[in-house]
């Protein structure tokens, strides 16, 4: 096809593939698209292949485990069962296989009760007793204790599963009430120090130590001002330095809801290297009892609202001159244990994957989902450990989306959310497409920018914009892998996810199913059905950023 003809049909949909071979660059249209079906539209995703806009950790996906006892109830529903860390059945084959499937996944141990947890190392001189229900206490429970034999059992499981562990320490020991309503006084680290030393002596591998849970900014239940918190984190850094010889775990804080002024002060007083990771929490959908959760999840304007938090924190870190990086330390979407058949159902993958894609664009290094198991927002069922839909969404992200994030724009409806990363452990790119509409099927072509015109041996001044057009027989050899996710029976509140039309479920031995793609000819658009999610791995897209 002559370039002149292509200029006349440039308004049509076609898929552009970047091919980078050594010192040459070729941008080629695999084919002029066949006419789309009536009423389905003709849309394109533009991927900037020139440079990554951000980069995540290799183990970007993270999940939490919490301390809640079975008596934890919200709105008359007790959704935690035996999922708390003191009660969790560590012998479950499904649980072990679910964690191992990531190889690795970060697990953050913490939550509201971590600031009321002491460690049974003998340093307190008190008996090691579990949490007890007490409606007059903050969060409804008395102080609890982690016996060291349970810590040993947990670490045996973590070692076997290959998980990377972040432990949230109690930051309230030693505090006194202040006139402004906050808690002041220096952190009493005696018990925490003995626990860290016990962990080191046992040889337990820790990815990080985090101080406190939701005590920054206005706090949740209690708050500590940024000046005091900064001093306490510097103390934790010194404790970790002293306890570890050579390579040491990350020092992480504050595990709080984002408050720009508080975070700015905290980052400024711990720079350049007193803290490794700045964590914030996200429950932007409101309380789990909200009857409009699904409406919010399907509203692109509502989803966009969280971008300002990611952008603001990224700006604070850049301007402060700190080595610290940003994580989402806990995110369950809807607080107070979520909402059954929403936050543990297919529809929640729209929110969850959009959060992963959006946060990664703003240089978030890791994203911890509340929870791995527990409440109504677990990746796994609280009693059977059978994966909920979001588990498979997280696993596909982990296996397909590499660390480098590419700028991506979509020219059609705002009901399509689009994110692109360099492919993980493979050539090309992986594109994530989320269709929030239940009425439209979109046929989407991938276009690109970023070719170096002066490097292409076939380029001329007249026709540099389009380069060489391959023959159809050549184009047909270009294939991609697609993973289409839909709810069983078309029910958004289903707890069963279909991959390319097949129900995902563990086998008789608790094994996680294989996640197999369908092969699609490169001449075809990516078809995104109503209320569906598509991961498309395009190995023939050779981006400069992905070298």
Q: Over the stretch 310-330, which tens digit does the pLDDT of each residue have?
A: 999 999 999 999 999 999 999
Pairing of strands 479-487, 533-538: antiparallel
* Residue count (the chain): 547
CA dihedral 231, 237, 240, 242 (to 10 degrees): -90
Which tens digits make up the pLDDT trace of 149-198? 999 999 999 999 999 999 999 999 999 999 999 999 999 999 999 999 99
So what's the pLDDT on residue 268? Answer: 98
Of 210, 214, 306, 482, the active-site residue reads 214
So what's the pLDDT on residue 450? Answer: 56
Q: State the pTM of this model.
A: 0.91
The answer to whether residue 474 is catalytic is no
Which tens digits make up the pLDDT trace of 232-265? 999 999 999 999 988 999 999 999 999 999 999 9
Mean pLDDT in residue range 373-397: 98
Dist. CA 206–CA 166, nearest whole Å: 6
Mean pLDDT in residue range 492-520: 98
Q: Which one-letter DSSP state was computed for residue 284?
A: T
Dist. CA 225–CA 261, nearest whole Å: 11
Which tens digits make up the pLDDT trace of 108-133? 999 999 999 999 999 888 999 999 99
Residue 336 has pLDDT above 80, yes or no: yes
Dist. CA 184–CA 229, nearest whole Å: 9
Dist. CA 95–CA 228, nearest whole Å: 39
The answer to whether residue 201 is catalytic is no
Of 306, 330, 481, 482, the active-site residue reads 330
Dist. CA 199–CA 193, nearest whole Å: 10
So what's the pLDDT on residue 523? Answer: 84
User: What are the φ/ψ torsions at residue 422 (nearest 5 degrees)?
Assistant: -55, 145
So what's the pLDDT on residue 526? Answer: 97
Name the E strands within 49-109. Answer: 54-55, 61-65, 106-109
Dist. CA 347–CA 334, nearest whole Å: 13
Lowest mean pLDDT among 23-27, 339-343, 426-430: 23-27
Name the E strands within 160-260. Answer: 164-169, 176-177, 183-184, 208-211, 250-257
Return all residues near 71 (Cβ < 8 A) that are at least 6 apart. 78, 133, 141
Lowest mean pLDDT among 42-51, 302-311, 325-334, 396-405: 42-51
Name the E strands within 372-459. Answer: 401-406, 408-410, 416-423, 429-435, 442-449
How crowded is residue 503: how many other Cβ atoms within 10 Å of its Cβ?
Answer: 11
Dist. CA 232–CA 94, nearest whole Å: 39
CB 289 within 8 A of CB 250: no
Which tens digits make up the pLDDT trace of 455-496? 232 223 333 333 333 443 444 458 999 999 999 999 999 999
Which tens digits make up the pLDDT trace of 47-68? 999 999 999 999 999 999 999 9
So what's the pLDDT on residue 124? Answer: 85
Return all residues near 484 (Cβ < 8 A) that are at least 6 apart. 498, 499, 500, 501, 518, 529, 532, 533, 534
Integer CA distances (angstroms), 338 to 81, 333, 371, 462, in order: 14, 7, 10, 58
Average pLDDT over all residues of the chain: 89
Q: Which band of pLDDT confidence, cut at 50, 70 and 90, is reported for residue 545?
A: very high
So what's the pLDDT on residue 449? Answer: 76
Residue 39 has pLDDT above 50, yes or no: no
So what's the pLDDT on residue 245? Answer: 86
Dist. CA 329–CA 410, nearest whole Å: 29
Residue 12 has pLDDT above 80, yes or no: no
Pairing of strands 208-211, 164-169: parallel
Q: Which band of pLDDT confidence, cut at 50, 70 and 90, is reported for residue 42?
A: low
Q: Which one-letter DSSP state was computed for residue 10?
A: T
Residue 271 has pLDDT above 90, yes or no: yes
Residue 383 has pLDDT above 90, yes or no: yes
Q: Which H or E run contains 519? A: strand 518-521
């Amino acid at each position: 096809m002559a370039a002149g003809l292509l200029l006349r049909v440039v308004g049509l949909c076609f898929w552009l593939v970047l091919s980078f071979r050594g010192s040459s660059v070729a941008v080629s249209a695999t084919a002029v698209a066949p006419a789309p079906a009536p009423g389905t539209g003709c849309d394109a995703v533009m991927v900037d292949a020139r440079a990554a806009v951000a980069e995540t950790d290799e183990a970007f996906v993270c999940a939490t485990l919490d301390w809640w006892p079975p008596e934890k109830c919200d709105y008359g529903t007790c959704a935690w069962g035996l999922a708390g860390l003191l009660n969790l059945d560590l012998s479950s084959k499904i649980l072990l296989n679910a964690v191992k499937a990531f190889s690795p996944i970060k697990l953050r141990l913490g939550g509201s009760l971590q600031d009321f947890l002491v460690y049974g190392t003998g340093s307190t001189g008190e008996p090691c007793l579990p949490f007890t229900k007490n409606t007059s206490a903050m969060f409804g429970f008395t102080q609890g204790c982690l016996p060291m034999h349970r810590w040993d059992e947990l670490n045996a499981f973590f070692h076997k599963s290959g998980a990377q562990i972040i432990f949230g320490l109690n930051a309230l020991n030693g505090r006194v009430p202040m006139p402004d309503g906050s808690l002041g006084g220096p952190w009493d680290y005696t018990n925490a120090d003995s626990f860290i030393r016990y962990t080191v002596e046992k040889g337990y591998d820790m990815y990080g130590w985090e101080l406190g849970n939701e005590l920054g900014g206005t706090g949740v239940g209690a708050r500590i001002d940024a000046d005091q918190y900064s001093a306490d984190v510097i103390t934790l850094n010194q404790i970790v330095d002293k306890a570890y010889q050579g390579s040491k775990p990350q020092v992480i804080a504050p595990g709080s809801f984002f408050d720009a002024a508080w975070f700015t002060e905290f980052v400024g007083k711990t720079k350049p290297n007193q803290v490794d990771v700045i964590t914030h929490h996200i429950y932007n959908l409101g309380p789990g009892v909200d009857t409009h959760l699904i409406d919010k999840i399907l509203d692109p304007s509502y989803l966009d609202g969280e971008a300002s938090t990611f952008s603001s924190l990224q700006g604070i870190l850049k301007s402060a001159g700190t080595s610290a990086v940003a994580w989402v330390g806990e995110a369950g979407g809807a607080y107070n244990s979520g909402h059954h058949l929403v936050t543990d159902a297919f529809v929640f993958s729209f929110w969850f994957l959009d959060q992963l894609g959006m946060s990664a664009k703003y240089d978030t290094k890791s994203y911890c989902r509340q929870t791995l198991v527990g409440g109504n927002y677990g990746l796994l069922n609280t009693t059977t450990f059978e994966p909920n839909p979001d588990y498979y969404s997280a696993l596909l992200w982990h296996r397909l989306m590499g660390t480098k994030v590419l700028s991506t724009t979509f020219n059609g409806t705002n009901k399509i959310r689009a994110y692109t990363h360099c492919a993980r452990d493979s050539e090309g790119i992986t594109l994530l497409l989320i269709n929030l509409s239940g009425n439209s099927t979109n046929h989407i072509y991938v276009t690109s920018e970023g070719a170096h015109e002066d490097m292409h041996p076939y380029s001329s001044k007249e026709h540099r914009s389009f380069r060489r057009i391959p023959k159809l027989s050549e184009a047909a050899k270009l294939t991609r892998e697609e993973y289409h996710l839909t709810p069983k029976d078309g029910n958004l509140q289903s707890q069963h996810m279909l991959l390319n039309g097949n129900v995902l479920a563990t086998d008789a031995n608790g094994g996680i199913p294989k996640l197999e793609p369908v092969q699609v000819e490169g001449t075809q658009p990516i078809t995104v059905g109503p209320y569906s999610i598509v991961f498309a791995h395009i190995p023939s897209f050779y981006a400069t950023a992905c070298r």
